[in-house]
Chains A and B, each alone.
Chain A
């Protein structure tokens, strides 16, 4: 590791100051606020608050609606992270085979990432709205009783599809870069060793891609847990009947719609702990199977 030596002690702190300030203001301060709120109980008008200890946590954790949100989040996150990774990897592998128009294809693939989550949600809502959706009609024609406004499973499929669609671009970009970093001669050596393309993919390409896949797994999990709020808000609003209400959506709903600040803050603290634990778990146990170059 290269060490840079500064002429005096102040300069490095000055250079770090903007980054530290941003982290403090936009991460530590709100996090601290959430912790503070989570042990307080506020009156309905927000005029006074009282210290209640862990009462908010106890209440939240015994609330069946909260446990439902945990279950919804697990299903939703697993589906989104897995589909977004699998589809993006498939597309990236296919994009490698293209000879003409590679750049065009890649550019087109990256565009969905530039679409804001709420807009993406609206697009999917319009396409699959049971009464006027462009794609809902053909679904009904082939005999599928499609109604995400009434059927919880349909609603889940729709938000998973929208959230996945949006994340594929990002994953695709990283997978393409990861694939390009694998020397062609390795695949040639595998071909000469007698491996079929499929076998070479699973024994050579996939293991060598694990650093990328692992990084994306962490990013996608966090994405599914937090960044999909906009999509859920636009497409289903957590419904029908809480069937698509994820933890982060419930934090919003309880805090800003129902104005139960203490509950909401306790939930966001729990969510923070979950994400930290999950990421630590991923680094501790899954990263072992990663082959770094």
Chain B
């Protein structure tokens, strides 16, 4: 177990910088998830920690050692790959024992370590099978097992669940969480799936275009996103974000609607962010504005109304109770004052201030 420290880590390919200085300090035993859209550099970052990619600048420390130039095998880490990377010609047992054999452990120690990992992952019945005779979920568990047996300083997982079907993914997610609680292993986990990110992480690193846009707890990322990208990326359906103008305590919305807000932002043009679940429908009021529903998605307990702000073409998603009657063409009144609002700078998308209903 160890702490992982990234200090201004950069990566360039042929003069083109793709990771623009990432700094993270991962505490011993912490579960950190790097999340971002495809191509944001999250896998590259993980592979740099693993030593599979060279770093162009910066420092990576694992434990107390700077590992910048160390080979992967000298870094004392274990990694789970997206395609599992199981050795196809070896049995499950040999797959898990491979690293231990190289480390020169005695046969008895290897057998004990493999047995322990196998029982933790319920792999005992499959130990003598080849990977091709296993299902996707079983292969995934073998990959986890191969990482576990070595008791490394840190555990790196690169989209380990993205090849599984939805149901299995939920199951494995819980298992990974459970394993982490039991082993207390420092873990760095890469995913593009925000549900995985939110549920697993002690802390999240939201990445976009090679920049760590925000590093915080899932709760903090959700409630106070650092910028417009994070606000739009985390949350499903995505946060409504649109242009507004602030004029002396009054917000001018698309379509010319003027509404009052309790704690207004500074005057000027800015971007307003509003989560679908924070939108409140009211009968009327000085702080309300009209929207028109153009489609409704009913999910059971909830329903999402996809609306357009009246007199404009700005779309707004609204979460409604599942039993609320709503249909295409209905008009709703929406209140901002009691909702949780996020304001972002129109120039650079940075968060301006957090507002809460009192």
Contact = CB atoms under 8 A, between A and B. Distances in A.
Interface of A: 183, 185-186, 188-196, 199, 203-204, 207-208, 291, 293
Contact of A293 (B78, B79, B88, B103): B88
B85 interface: yes
Contact of A194 (B83, B86, B88, B103): B103
B229 interface: no
Interface string B95-135: 00011001100000000000000000000000000001000
Contacts of A190: 87, 98
B102 A194 contact: yes
Contacts of B89: 207-208, 291
A196 B102 CA distance: 9
B110 to A, nearest CB: 13
Contact of B71 (A191, A208, A291): A191
Contact of B85 (A189, A195, A203, A293): A189
B102 A195 contact: yes
A173 B78 CA distance: 35
B123 to A, nearest CB: 17
Contacts of A207: 89
Contacts of B11: none
Interface residues of B, number: 23
Contacts of A208: 88-89
16 contacts: A183-B83, A186-B87, A189-B79, A189-B85, A189-B86, A190-B98, A191-B52, A192-B78, A192-B79, A193-B99, A194-B73, A194-B99, A195-B73, A195-B102, A204-B87, A293-B132
B81 A188 contact: yes
Contacts of B99: 192-194
A193 B89 CA distance: 16
Contact of A185 (B73, B77, B81, B146): B81
B81 A189 contact: yes
B50 interface: yes
B98 A193 contact: yes
Nearest to B73: A194
A193 B146 contact: yes
A124 to B, nearest CB: 39
B52 A188 contact: yes
Contacts of A188: 50, 52, 72, 79, 81, 85
Contacts of A204: 87
Contacts of B72: 188, 191-192
B150 interface: yes
Contact of B83 (A185, A191, A195, A196): A185
Nearest to B102: A194
A207 B89 CA distance: 7
A277 B52 CA distance: 48
A199 B146 CA distance: 18
Contacts of A183: 83, 85
Given A183-B83, A185-B81, A185-B83, A193 B102 contact: yes
Most A Cβ at <10 Å: residue of B71, B86, B89, B146: B89
B71 to A, nearest CB: 7
A196 B52 CA distance: 14
B48 to A, nearest CB: 13
Given A192-B99, A194-B99, A196-B73, 4 more contacts: A186-B87, A189-B81, A192-B52, A194-B73
